[in-house]
A and B are shown apart, each in its own frame.
Chain A
Amino acid sequence: DIQMTQSPSTLSASVGDRVSITCRANQSINIWLAWYQQTAGKAPKLLIYRASNLKSGVSSRFSGSGSGTEFTLTISGLQPDDFATYYCQQYNGPSPSTFGQGTKIEIK
């Protein structure tokens, strides 16, 4: 299976900061990568698909980039609702899908 590694595991930041999370695959997944946000006690929500496509209705403060094995989620101007855990997911079929281990953004 394709392994996904996110870094950092935890990130401390302040409201208004610009932050970035990296997701690396152990083999090329082209652009078949999605990003999700999960707040405590809630189901994950899709933010970005196909590496850089913003889901309709998601704030433009979120952006994604990358291809192949290295991907980045950037949040510009952190808002209070953005303090959450973020996951990447690869879906490079026919391989089974896999998630990264998650990155928690905490208030500094």
Chain B
Amino acid sequence: EVQLVESGGGLERPGRSLRLSCVGSGFIFDDYVMHWVRQAPGRGLEWVSSISWNGNNIVYANSVKGRFIVSRDNAKSSLFLQMNSLRPEDTALYYCAKGPSATLMAYLDSWGQGTLVTVSS
């Protein structure tokens, strides 16, 4: 069974940084593209970033480009999201999700339960 477990969320002040992690199990981690999706309180889903199986191809939403950095460590079946220059509008539940293959842009066939990030002074 595929499992994705996010961690690293919390309360942080505007302008500061936070690093999210996601550990995958139940599948061969380095065979798949991985994604981050966020959901602000009471709002819809927003795709944030996608990273290829080897980390060589990465895409970001315009809203986070230049501030967030996605990476992965296949040896540890882990996905990361380094969030810099945080803004109040980054407040959201951040989901880690798995793609169905090595294709960068794809649907998301498994999701974690999310980790909550709150940006406030």
Q: Compute how far the CA of A89 lies from the CA of B45 in the bound complex, rounded to whole angstroms.
A: 9
Please encode chain B, from 26 to 67, with 1 for each CB lying within 8 Å of some chain A CB and 0 for all others: 000000000101000000111100100000000111100000
Q: Compute how far the CA of A93 lies from the CA of B46 in the bound complex, rounded to whole angstroms.
A: 16
Contacts of B110 in A (CB 8 A): 46
- Known contacts A46-B109, A91-B106, A95-B105: A102-B44 contact under CB 8 Å: yes
Contacts of B95 in A (CB 8 A): 43-44
Is A45 engaged at the interface, CB distance under 8 Å to the other chain? yes
Contacts of A50 in B (CB 8 A): 107
Contacts of B108 in A (CB 8 A): 34, 36, 44, 46, 89
Q: Which of B9-17, B74-82, B111-119 contacts A (4 or more CB under 8 A)?
A: B111-119
Closest A residue to B105 using CB positions: A93
Contacts of A87 in B (CB 8 A): 44-45
Cβ of A45 and Cβ of B111 under 8 Å apart?
Answer: yes
Q: Compute how far the CA of A44 lies from the CA of B104 in the bound complex, rounded to whole angstroms.
A: 20
Q: How many residues of A contact B (CB 8 A)?
A: 26
Contacts of B100 in A (CB 8 A): 49
Residue of B44, B50, B111, B114 near A97 (CB, 8 A) is: B50
Give min CB distance, B32 to chain A, whole Å: 14
Contacts of B105 in A (CB 8 A): 32, 91-97
Is A98 engaged at the interface, CB distance under 8 Å to the other chain? yes
Is B103 engaged at the interface, CB distance under 8 Å to the other chain? yes
Is A99 engaged at the interface, CB distance under 8 Å to the other chain? yes
14 contacts between A and B (CB under 8 A): A36-B45, A43-B95, A43-B112, A43-B113, A49-B107, A87-B44, A87-B45, A89-B47, A93-B104, A93-B105, A94-B104, A95-B105, A97-B105, A98-B47
Give min CB distance, B86 to chain A, whole Å: 21
Contacts of B106 in A (CB 8 A): 91, 93
Is A18 engaged at the interface, CB distance under 8 Å to the other chain? no
Contacts of A1 in B (CB 8 A): 61-62
Residue of A45, A46, A95, A100 near B44 (CB, 8 A) is: A100
